[in-house]
Structure 1
Amino acid sequence: MLVLLQAVLGFDNLLYISIESKRVPVERQAYVRRLGIALAIILRIVLLFVLVQAIQYFQDPFLKLDYQGVIKISANVHSFIVLFGGAFIIYTAVKEIFHMLAVDDLAHSDGATRSVASAIIWIVAMNLIFSFDSILSAMALTEVFWVMATAIVISGVMMIWLSDHVAEFLNKNRMYEVLGLFILFIVGILLVSEGGHLAHLALFGFPIEPMAKSTFYFVIFVLVLVDLVQGRYQRKLTMQKTRSVETTSS
């Protein structure tokens, strides 16, 4: 059960890893993905140990602000990390989408823009941000440390294996990159809303409500469905246009 939980909650992480690894030279991308996830597994176990021993310190607020009804917040470490992580994921997704629209040659748009060390650091950092919810969910199911640690290791090995397949699929099917980026964008919104709720964030008197997981998965389902239907319809239009040109020329 814990392994399944870790795997399900780690899917969005795979999308980020695939996107981040594309910023290094092609021959180093697999290395970046595998080492980044391996280091993240170790740090996840460390984080698990810290949370088990000092969960209260992560729940105590360290930032309180109430500015004349404009903004109100009472953030702890957990909520701050989730909020920051969600905002960064939204920024990454939007940046990549605009990059895809701006470049003239998509075939040569994936040049190395980040060093191997930098990419690994970002993969590890974002992996830890994604880890908070999965670790806290695991702690709600069991209090046995070695059981949770084993689930983290198994799910991490699965992620190492799946990361190459996800990256390879996106490289071979570039049309699904946009879908992946918008899924990542929705993940960012989910994290921001959840982090804002945990931080008791209110803007102009309106409290931030977390996005329900059912809503999140429904939105993802609709995105995938629209993309599949649009793809098939586009292929039909292309075939029809090709036949029309052939008929006219003959």
Structure 2
Amino acid sequence: MFDLLASAATELTTGAQSGIGNIVGVLLLLLGLELVLGVDNILVISILVARLPKDQQNTARIVGLALALVARIFLLLGVTWLLRLSTPIGEAVPALEAIPLLSTLSLKDLVLLAGGLFLIYKAVKEIHHVVELEDEHEGPHGKGHTFTAIVTQIVLLDIVFSLDSVITAVGMIDVLWVIITSVTLAFVVVLIFAKPIGDFILAHPAIKILALSFLLTIGITIMMEAFHKHVPKAYIYLPMGFALAVELLQMRYSRNKRLKAAPPARETE
């Protein structure tokens, strides 16, 4: 989906970026791109804030998303510097050209690699906690799960998610306010849905494991992109969407079975 939206926006902006109709069209397409990324953000935020006390979770969501929005705007303002991150290290530092693997990677690739590894580590660790029922014995608050640490992780992972989208957006249109507007609108949508979706995920262990499996897949995909192996987003979102639909049907089946098995309520005289 991400690739289709990007392709459509590129065709729309070709030859007439200044037209108001084209600007509105690109704004809507950019908003679509940001909302696709928002799915990843909501899942990450839901898992991370669950490690905080209840009274801090919503504040962590708002602060983390707000700082992530500011960081993304700074990336847009420094797009010239950001584009230089795509230069292979071997070209930027000739002394490192003799190292085969490192010389072909860029700083952006290294950031993606680190982010992908962290996401894989986080997803596997959380799956272990859920399956082994460690949270029920130890509680949700563990070592290193401070408010500042959780917010920092939210911001850093959002930067990893947004690197390619920022470069893609700038390639679509050079009107900066259009990109910033789409990012801000997506921020509002994610902020609205982050809490209810997060609460739903945490209330159903099977959905939480499915969400963590999705994050594990995203982490592997980010690592592959660091080594210039592109994976179409549809290959990830469609199977996970299908798995989610099956799980929701299973939940409804279990609920209906419980209701039918429950004894009828006795009438009071």
User: Shorter-chain TM-score category?
Assistant: 0.7 to 0.9
Q: Which whole-Å deviations, capped at 9, do the CAs of 1:39-73 have from their partners, x for residues lacking one? A: 1101110011112x23441121126532xxxx676
Q: Is the 8 A contact 1:179 1:224 kept in 2?
A: yes
Q: What runs of 5+ residues in structure 1 fail to find an aligned partner?
A: 198-208, 244-250
Q: Is the 8 A contact 2:41 2:158 kept in 1?
A: yes
Structure 1 residues 184 and 234: CA distance shift in structure 2, 3 A: same
| 2:59 is aligned with 1:59 | no
Aligned ranges 1:231-250 → 2 under 5 Å: 231=251
**One-letter amino acid matched to 1:11:** V
Residue in 1 aligned with 2:175? 144
Residue in 2 aligned with 1:167? 198
What's the CA shift for 1:116?
0.5
Residue in 1 aligned with 2:7? none
Residue in 1 aligned with 2:235? 215
Q: CA separation in 2, counterparts of 1:210 and 1:109?
A: 39
Aligned ranges 1:109-148 → 2 under 5 Å: 109-111=139-141, 113=143, 114-148=145-179
Q: Which whole-Å deviations, capped at 9, do the CAs of 1:78-107 have from their partners, x for residues lacking one? A: 211112111111111100001112226648
Structure 1 residues 73 and 62: CA distance shift in structure 2, 3 A: closer
**One-letter amino acid matched to 2:130:** M
Q: CA separation in 2, counterparts of 1:172 and 1:10?
A: 21
| 2:244 is aligned with 1:224 | yes
Q: CA separation in 2, counterparts of 1:172 and 1:151?
A: 31
RMSD over aligned CA atoms reads 2.6
* TM-score, normalised via structure 2 length: 0.75
Residue in 1 aligned with 2:189? 158
Q: CA separation in 1, counterparts of 2:87 and 2:81?
A: 11
Q: Is the 8 A contact 1:59 1:77 kept in 2?
A: yes
What's the CA shift for 1:193?
1.2
Greater share of strand: 1
**One-letter amino acid matched to 2:49:** S
Aligned ranges 1:48-87 → 2 under 5 Å: 48-51=76-79, 53-62=80-89, 65-66=99-100, 74-87=104-117
What's the CA shift for 1:239?
8.6
Q: CA separation in 2, counterparts of 1:55 and 1:33?
A: 26
Structure 1 residues 215 and 6: CA distance shift in structure 2, 3 A: same
Q: CA separation in 1, counterparts of 2:194 and 2:109?
A: 27
| 2:244 is aligned with 1:192 | no
| 2:34 is aligned with 1:3 | no
Q: 2:63 aligns with which of 2, 18, 35?
A: 35
Q: CA separation in 1, counterparts of 2:45 and 2:117?
A: 17
Q: CA separation in 2, counterparts of 1:172 and 1:139?
A: 39
Structure 1 residues 104 and 136: CA distance shift in structure 2, 3 A: closer
Q: 1:89 aligns with which of 119, 128, 131?
A: 119
Q: Is the 8 A contact 1:103 1:109 kept in 2?
A: no
Q: Tell me the number of residue pairs that the alignment of Structure 1 and Structure 2 aligns.
A: 226
Partner SS for 2:66: helix
Q: Which whole-Å deviations, capped at 9, do the CAs of 1:200-248 have from their partners, x for residues lacking one? A: xxxxxxxxx32222211233134324434554666688799x79xxxxx
Q: What runs of 5+ residues in structure 2 fail to find an aligned partner?
A: 1-28, 91-96, 263-269
